[in-house]
């Protein structure tokens, strides 16, 4: 996978659960229905799509408003 598509996510399947890591630290654990959905979705995805899915599941992805937020008066210190 090229570095431009690597967002630093990985996952491990452990006894029916999927543990998602971000840069080596545990970010979330998927159990039950969410774990089953994750398993079926991730199997058919490219590496870049897998990274994006894991980012969305952990809530750790850019939303497109970072530049606007940076310039907000509250954040200019």
CB atoms within 10 A of CB 48: 14
For residue 16, the tally of other CB atoms under 10 A from its CB is 11
Give per-residue pLDDT as tens, 10-53: 999 999 999 999 999 999 999 999 999 999 999 999 999 999 99
Q: What is the mean pLDDT of residues 52-66?
A: 76
């Amino acid at each position: 996978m090229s570095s431009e598509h690597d967002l630093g996510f990985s996952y491990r399947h452990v006894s029916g659960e999927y543990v998602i890591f971000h840069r080596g630290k545990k970010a979330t654990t998927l159990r039950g229905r969410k774990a089953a959905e994750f398993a079926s979705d991730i199997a058919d995805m490219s590496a870049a799509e897998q990274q994006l899915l894991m980012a969305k599941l952990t809530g750790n992805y850019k939303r497109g408003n970072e530049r606007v937020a940076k310039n907000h008066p509250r954040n200019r210190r």
